[in-house]
Amino acid sequence: MTVTPGWYMALAAFLFVIGTGGILLRRNALVMFMSVELMLNAVNLTFVAAGRELNVLDGQVSVFFVMVVAAAEVVVGLAIIVAVFRKRQTASVDELAELRG
Amino acid sequence: MALLLSLIVLLPLAGMLFLFAFGKRIGEPGAGIVATLTVGGSFLTAVVLALDFFTGSGATETARWFEWLPAFGVAAELRWDQLSALMTLVVTGVGSLIHLYSIGYMHGDARFGRFFTYMNLFIVSMLILVLANNFALMFVGWELVGLSSYLLISFWFERDTAAAAGKKAFVVNRVGDVGFIVALMLIFSVFGSLGFDTVFEGARFHLTEGMATAIGLLLLIGAAGKSAQLPLYVWLPDAMEGPTPVSALIHAATMVTAGVYMVARTGSIFELAPVAAATVAIVGAATALYAATIAIAQRDIKRVLAYSTISQLGYMFMGVGAAAYAAGVFHLMTHAFFKALLFLGAGSVIHGMADEQDMHRMGGLARRMPVTFATMAIAWLAISGIPPLAGFWSKDEILAAVFERGGSWKILWGVGLVTVLLTAFYMTRMMWLTFFGEPRWEAGLEPRESPRIMTIPLLALAILSVVGGLVNTPFKLTLEHFLDPVFEGLRLVHAPGGSVAWILAGVSVAAGIIGIGAAIMRYRGPVPAESGPGWRLLGNGYYVDDLYAGVFARGGKLGAAWLAFRFDARGIDGAVEGVGALTRRVGGWLRPLQTGFVRSYGLAIVAGAVGLLAWFLSRGAF
Interface of B with A (CB under 8 A): 590-599, 602-603, 606
Of A23, A32, A97, the CB nearest to B597: A97
Query: Best residue in B586, B594, B599 to probe A by mutation, most A CBs within 10 Å?
Result: B599
Region B298-313: what's the mean pLDDT?
Answer: 92
Our CA-based measurement puts residue A80 at a distance from the nearest CA of chain B, in whole angstroms, of: 15
Our CA-based measurement puts residue A97 at a distance from the nearest CA of chain B, in whole angstroms, of: 4
Our CA-based measurement puts residue A39 at a distance from the nearest CA of chain B, in whole angstroms, of: 12
Instruction: Read off the pLDDT band of B363 (50, 70, 90).
Output: confident
Best CA proximity match to B77, nearest among B156, B2, B182? B2
Per residue, the 3-state secondary structure of B384-439, as one string, reads CCCCCCHHHHHHHHHHHHHHHHCCCHHHHHHHHHHHHHHHHHHHHHHHHHHHCCCC
Query: Best residue in B589, B590, B591, B597 to probe A by mutation, most A CBs within 10 Å?
Result: B597
Q: What is the pLDDT of residue A91?
A: 83
User: Measured between beta carbons, which residues in chain B are less than 8 angstroms from residue A35?
Assistant: none
Q: Which long-range contacts (CB under 8 A, 24 or more apart) does B182-191 make?
A: B182/B218, B183/B215, B183/B218, B183/B219, B183/B222, B184/B135, B184/B136, B184/B139, B186/B211, B186/B214, B186/B215, B186/B218, B187/B135, B187/B215, B188/B72
Check B595 against A101: CB less than 8 A apart. yes
How far apart CA B598 and CA B158 sit, in angstroms, is 74
Cα–chain-centroid distance for residue B373?
28
Region B544-567: what's the mean pLDDT?
Answer: 90
Q: What is the pLDDT of residue B60?
A: 85
How far apart CA B254 and CA B247 sit, in angstroms, is 10
Q: What is the pLDDT of residue B377?
A: 93
User: Measured between beta carbons, which residues in chain B are less than 8 angstroms from residue A99?
Assistant: 594, 596
The sign of the torsion formed by the CA atoms of B34, B40, B80, B398 equals positive
Per residue, the 3-state secondary structure of B144-189, as one string, reads HHHHHHHHHHCCCCCCHHHHHHHHHHHHHHHHHHHHHHHHHHHHHH
Specify the DSSP element, H or E, that contains B199.
helix B196-206
Check B594 against A101: CB less than 8 A apart. yes
Work out the percent of chain B whose per-residue pLDDT is above 90: 56
Amino acid identity, residue B59?
A
Region B410-439: what's the mean pLDDT?
Answer: 92
Helix axes B301-321, B325-352, angle to 10 degrees: 170
Of B590, B596, B603, the CB nearest to A24: B603
Cβ within 8 Å of residue B619, ≥6 positions away = none
Spatial contact of B453 and B459, defined as CB atoms under 8 Å apart: no
Spatial contact of B100 and B61, defined as CB atoms under 8 Å apart: no
- Kindly report the backbone phi and psi dihedral angles of residue B110, in degrees, each rounded to the nearest multiple of 5, phi listed first: -65, -30
User: Measured between beta carbons, which residues in chain B are less than 8 angstroms from residue A25?
Assistant: 599
Of A27, A32, A98, the CB nearest to B596: A98
Q: What is the pLDDT of residue B621?
A: 61
How far apart CA A95 and CA A84 sit, in angstroms, is 11
How far apart CA B250 and CA B343 sit, in angstroms, is 11
Q: What is the pLDDT of residue B265?
A: 93
Cis-peptide, bond into residue B274, ω within 30° of zero: no
Q: What is the pLDDT of residue B439?
A: 84
Our CA-based measurement puts residue B69 at a distance from the nearest CA of chain A, in whole angstroms, of: 60
Count of C-beta atoms within a 10 Å radius of residue B374: 16
**3-state DSSP helix/strand/coil % of chain A, to nearest 5:** 75, 0, 20
User: Measured between beta carbons, which residues in chain A are less than 8 angstroms from residue B588?
Assistant: none
Cα–chain-centroid distance for residue B159?
23
How far apart CA B482 and CA B326 sit, in angstroms, is 9
Report helix, strand or coil for B1. Answer: coil
- Kindly report the backbone phi and psi dihedral angles of residue B195, in degrees, each rounded to the nearest multiple of 5, phi listed first: -70, 140
Beta-carbon pairs below 8 A across chains A and B: 33
Region B219-232: what's the mean pLDDT?
Answer: 92
Task: Tally DSSP H helices, then E strands, for chain A.
Answer: 3, 0
How far apart CA B280 and CA B284 sit, in angstroms, is 6
Res. B403: pLDDT tops 70:
yes
Res. B622: pLDDT tops 60:
no
Check B590 against A101: CB less than 8 A apart. yes
Instruction: Read off the pLDDT band of B472 (50, 70, 90).
Output: confident
- Kindly report the backbone phi and psi dihedral angles of residue B173, in degrees, each rounded to the nearest multiple of 5, phi listed first: -60, -35
Minimal-distance CA residue of chain B relative to A22: B599
Cα–chain-centroid distance for residue B550?
25
Check B602 against A24: CB less than 8 A apart. yes
Using one digit for the tens of pLDDT, what is the confidence trace for B197-207? 889 988 888 88
Res. B576: pLDDT tops 60:
yes
User: Measured between beta carbons, which residues in chain B are less than 8 angstroms from residue A84?
Assistant: none
Amino acid identity, residue B578?
G
Our CA-based measurement puts residue A91 at a distance from the nearest CA of chain B, in whole angstroms, of: 12
Using one digit for the tens of pLDDT, what is the confidence trace for A24-79? 999 898 899 899 999 999 999 999 999 988 999 988 999 999 999 999 999 999 99
Spatial contact of B307 and B249, defined as CB atoms under 8 Å apart: no
Spatial contact of B304 and B296, defined as CB atoms under 8 Å apart: no
User: Measured between beta carbons, which residues in chain B are less than 8 angstroms from residue A9?
Assistant: none
How far apart CA B140 and CA B101 sit, in angstroms, is 28
Using one digit for the tens of pLDDT, what is the confidence trace for B455-467? 899 999 999 999 8
Cβ within 8 Å of residue B583, ≥6 positions away = none
Res. B584: pLDDT tops 90:
yes
Using one digit for the tens of pLDDT, what is the confidence trace for B257-282? 999 999 999 999 999 999 999 999 99
Of B590, B593, B599, the CB nearest to A93: B599
Interface of A with B (CB under 8 A): 20, 23-25, 27, 32, 93-94, 96-101
User: Measured between beta carbons, which residues in chain B are less than 8 angstroms from residue A93?
Assistant: 597-599
Res. A101: pLDDT tops 80:
no
Region B553-569: what's the mean pLDDT?
Answer: 91
Using one digit for the tens of pLDDT, what is the confidence trace for B598-616? 888 889 999 999 999 999 9
User: Measured between beta carbons, which residues in chain A are less than 8 angstroms from residue B590?
Assistant: 101
Of A20, A27, A99, the CB nearest to B596: A99
Minimal-distance CA residue of chain A relative to B598: A93
Spatial contact of B334 and B398, defined as CB atoms under 8 Å apart: no
User: Measured between beta carbons, which residues in chain A are less than 8 angstroms from residue B599?
Assistant: 23-25, 27, 93-94
Check A97 against B596: CB less than 8 A apart. yes
User: Measured between beta carbons, which residues in chain A are less than 8 angstroms from residue B598?
Assistant: 32, 93, 96
Instruction: Read off the pLDDT band of B559 (50, 70, 90).
Output: very high
Of B590, B592, B606, the CB nearest to A20: B606
Check A24 against B596: CB less than 8 A apart. no
ipTM of the complex: 0.87
Res. B92: pLDDT tops 70:
yes
The residue that leads in pLDDT, B316 or B442, is B316
Work out the percent of chain B whose per-residue pLDDT is above 70: 100
User: Measured between beta carbons, which residues in chain A are less than 8 angstroms from residue B596?
Assistant: 97-101
- What's the pTM? 0.80
Spatial contact of B297 and B535, defined as CB atoms under 8 Å apart: yes
Res. B90: pLDDT tops 80:
yes
Cβ within 8 Å of residue A66, ≥6 positions away = A40, A43, A44, A47
Query: Best residue in A9, A16, A18, A20 to probe B by mutation, most B CBs within 10 Å?
Result: A20
Q: What is the pLDDT of residue B284?
A: 94
Instruction: Read off the pLDDT band of B415 (50, 70, 90).
Output: very high
Instruction: Read off the pLDDT band of B155 (50, 70, 90).
Output: very high
Per residue, the 3-state secondary structure of B479-512, as one string, reads HHHHHCCCCCCCCCCCCCCHHHHHHHHHHHHHHH
Backbone angle region of B192, left / alpha / beta, with phi > 0 → left and psi within -120 to 50 → alpha: left
Q: What is the pLDDT of residue B469?
A: 85
Of A94, A96, A101, the CB nearest to B593: A101
Burial B59-90 (b: 16+ CB within 10 A, else e): ebbbbeeeeeeeebbbbbbbbbbbbbbbbbbb
Best CA proximity match to B193, nearest among B136, B231, B259? B136
Using one digit for the tens of pLDDT, what is the confidence trace for B44-86? 999 999 888 888 777 888 888 888 888 888 889 999 989 999 9
Per residue, the 3-state secondary structure of B17-62, as one string, reads HHHHHHHHHHHHHHHHHHHHHHHHHHHHHHHHHHHHHHHCCCCCEE
- Average pLDDT over chain A reads 90
